[in-house]
Amino acid sequence: MLVPHFVKHVIRLALEEDIGTCDLTTEFVVSERQKSAALIISKGTFILAGLPFVIEVFRLVDQRTEFSIFLNDGSMVKKGDIIAKVSGLTGTLLSCERVALNILQRLSGIATLTYEYVQKVKDLKVKIVDTRKTTPCLRFMEKYAVRAGGGSNHRSGLYDGILIKNNHIKAAGGITVAIHAAKKVHHLAKIEVEVENLNDLREALRSGADVVMLDNMSVEDMREAVKVAKGMAIIEASGNITIERVRDIAETGVDLISVGALTHSAPAADISMMIVE
């Protein structure tokens, strides 16, 4: 996967944050020309995600660093599995270790939690999607991890999708006013509107919404909302989506279920790196 320039910039900042002016320990303990190999090893069971970014971490410090990848992103990893082998200057391996593992552990955790949600509804015609509740500056990587776990991406940011939320509706003066104003933007742009009850849903549909987000509605109201929409708009469920509730919500017939927890509450996977020669 091609890593975008701005993601490389974020990784550079992460390296600068950790290394600073120099890696004091490595500089005094390891010979400048010494070479080694290290294994990246799983210490648990999870869905792997983040290898392109890990490679970038090491190569931003030394382009000559070599990799042997044994497991691909999206695969199920078990305790003790060797994920990859990294070879190069010992100093590079040691200085990059923590940033590389932080990224891999974070993204693998997101992929794993996403996988768990997706498995709950795998036999139903519904997509599990992420939100903008991501770590600042890590959104590209975290949304990549969602895909690795079998989920789908919602809009990337404010620039690539129209989503009229409650505060927009209040500021504009109502659902209908907000939708009509948004329709002037571009004839190809889909318009999504957040609603909290069935009356607001009906107004959004009458006003020409393409997608309607049901915010924190009960399962019973979601089921009724799907009947009311009758294919007039894509229906998205959002708010308080837990692993325990996701199946019941999916069975209402909604098209999308957006889950903020995928990126804001996923526990990190347990991964280590060990010098072997």
Q: Which position among 12, 85, 133, 247 bears the catalytic label?
A: 133
| Rounded distance between C-alpha atoms, residue 246 and residue 242, angstroms | 6
| Rounded distance between C-alpha atoms, residue 5 and residue 13, angstroms | 13
Q: Answer yes or no: 183 catalytic.
A: no
Q: Is the same domain home to 235 and 132?
A: yes
Q: Answer yes or no: 33 catalytic.
A: no
| Rounded distance between C-alpha atoms, residue 84 and residue 48, angstroms | 11
* CATH assignment at residue 255: 3.20.20.70
Structure tokens, 24: 């004091």
Q: Which position among 98, 155, 190, 223 bears the catalytic label?
A: 98
Structural domain for 188, as ranges: 119-264
Supply the pLDDT for residue 186: 75
Q: Is the same domain home to 160 and 247?
A: yes
Q: Which position among 85, 147, 165, 247 bears the catalytic label?
A: 165
Q: Is the same domain home to 22 and 133?
A: no
| Rounded distance between C-alpha atoms, residue 45 and residue 78, angstroms | 4
Q: Which residues lie across from 234 on neighbouring strands?
A: 211
Query: What is the per-residue pLDDT across 59-101, written as a single tens digit (0 to 9) for each?
Result: 999 999 999 999 999 999 999 999 999 999 999 999 999 999 9
- Which of the residues in the chain have pLDDT under 50? none
Q: Answer yes or no: 165 catalytic.
A: yes
What pTM was computed for the model? Answer: 0.96
What's the structural domain count of the chain?
Answer: 2
Q: Answer yes or no: 160 catalytic.
A: no
88 alpha carbon, distance to own chain's centre: 30
Q: Which position among 81, 215, 236, 255 bears the catalytic label?
A: 215
Supply the pLDDT for residue 168: 97
Q: Is the same domain home to 159 and 232?
A: yes
Q: Answer yes or no: 133 catalytic.
A: yes
**Which residues of 43-121 form beta strands (DSSP E)?**
46-47, 66-69, 76-77, 82-89
Q: Is the same domain home to 99 and 146?
A: no
Supply the pLDDT for residue 58: 98
Q: Is the same domain home to 82 and 203?
A: no
Q: Which amino acid is at 61?
A: V
- Residues 165, 170, 173, 174, CA torsion sign: positive
Q: Which position among 97, 130, 194, 200 bears the catalytic label?
A: 194
Supply the pLDDT for residue 207: 96
Supply the pLDDT for residue 85: 98
